[in-house]
Structure 1
Amino acid sequence: MPRFPVISTIIVALAVATMIGLGIWQLQRKGEKEALLALYAANATKPAMAFPEIGPVSDDALFRQSSATCMKVVEWRSQSGRDNTGKPGILYIAECQTGADGPGLLAAMGVADRPNLKPDWNGGIVSGMIVTEPDHYSFLERAFGVIPTPNPMLVSANAVSGLRTPAKPDPAGISNNHLSYALQWFFFAAAASVIYVLALRKRQAKN
């Protein structure tokens, strides 16, 4: 009579249980994400609030209307972005001084087709929507590195001279892929179970 592979079976059972657990966790995350997106959508309809000076930005503040004063543009950042018609281009973000010792202000002030521009704007009142500064960290950096707290940023409702109005931040654009991740983990668990059962049958047939 062939010897039953107890240790291998335990290892596979633990792996399958882990994958099922991850699938269940992803389903829980799906519900949490849906609640968060509903909060963001509600925030967009609320009255304007004071601009948060430093991060982290609370969920209650994201996608809220706000305004702040840029005393002086210290530097311009640029990255890919879209204007309010959906046309892609270069998004220009102003790093602003807000006072002698203030924390500063990041403000997305418009989109252009040309890189390396220096927009003709050096400060003023910025009104728009609160988001966080763009995240350029890789998956590995986020998973294993020490990632600084993202700073709040205003996406201006109006472009400065020479730029096009940036796209209005939309909570609907935030992905919620947790259901597909859950189904993948459940599929992996089922596939591992079937493969192991077939391997056991093949082993028994040889003995």
Structure 2
Amino acid sequence: MRRLPILPTIIVALAVATMIGLGLWQLRVRLPQKEAQLAQLAANPSRPAVPFPRSPDDSLLFRASVAECAQVTGITRAGAGNAGYRLIATCLTPGGGVPIKVQLGTTRDPTKMVEWGGGVVRGWISHAPDQTPLIATLFRAAPKEMLLVAAEPAAGLTANSRPDIGLVPNNHLAYAGQWFFFAAVAALIYLVALRRRLASRA
């Protein structure tokens, strides 16, 4: 009498159900959340300026902002895609507290450095460069650090690119498709293996 292998069948069924559940979660939860966030971000550049946030708040991304850099404690360099490199100053503010980061401008010279004495900076809010490996970001609960992108570049630098909503990824539909594909592949592999197992016992 042919019988299904109980334990392998249960394991595969649970795995397939989990992958389908993750696909549905991407479609029903994460995709609408992302679409709502993108709609908000698209409207942020036209909204009134706000003080630079003292703690991370992704709802303020691309919003016009202003802050005062009372003291520059250092300037670092980070990649800026086609623009080359961006120079980012770390600043102490008059009120104290956590230092803020200001993107001064961009350059194609990998050795370029500038002298900048701080002052009032007007620009828009973005995310600071993050060196965290991609796999680690999947398990990170802490929000990304914020960055004030200066509207006027420091002397000797090229102006920063304006906010572009098109650069914000929305991959949740693709993620859902991937989970459904994985579920289908797992089920197919199991069915093929089961067919061979039953045929060998015939």
Normalised to the residue count of structure 1, the TM-score between the two structures is 0.88
1:198 aligned partner: 192
Matched AA of 1:105: I
Deviation, 1:93, is 0.6
Question: SS state of the match for residue 183, structure 1?
Answer: helix
State the percentage of identical aligned residues: 44
Deviations 1:37-65 (A, max 9, x none): 1111111111111221x222241x22110
1:4 aligned partner: 4
Alignment of 1:13-32 (within 5 A): 13-27=13-27, 28-32=29-33
1:105 aligned partner: 100
Deviation, 1:91, is 0.2
Cα distance in 2, alignment partners of residues 107 and 171 from structure 1? 20
Q: Which moved more, 1:20-29 or 1:134-143?
A: 134-143
Runs of at least 5 residues in structure 1 that lack an aligned partner in the other structure: none
When residues 201 and 139 of structure 1 are mapped into structure 2, their CA distance, relative to the original with a 3 A threshold, is same
Are the aligned partners of 1:70 and 1:125 in contact in 2 as well (CA < 8 Å)?
yes
Match of 2:148 among 150, 154, 157: 154
Report the structure, 1 or 2, having the larger helix content: 2
Deviation, 1:114, is 1.8
Cα distance in 1, alignment partners of residues 129 and 94 from structure 2? 23
For these two proteins, the number of residue pairs brought into alignment is: 200
Are the aligned partners of 1:57 and 1:132 in contact in 2 as well (CA < 8 Å)?
no
Deviations 1:11-47 (A, max 9, x none): 1111110110111111121121111111111111111
Cα distance in 2, alignment partners of residues 58 and 43 from structure 1? 11
2:88 aligned partner: 93
Are the aligned partners of 2:45 and 2:163 in contact in 1 as well (CA < 8 Å)?
no
Matched AA of 1:33: K
When residues 123 and 88 of structure 1 are mapped into structure 2, their CA distance, relative to the original with a 3 A threshold, is same
Deviations 1:149-207 (A, max 9, x none): 54321101111110000112322211111111111111111121122222222222222
Cα distance in 2, alignment partners of residues 176 and 149 from structure 1? 18
Deviation, 1:102, is 4.0
Normalised to the residue count of structure 2, the TM-score between the two structures is 0.90
Cα distance in 1, alignment partners of residues 42 and 191 from structure 2? 48
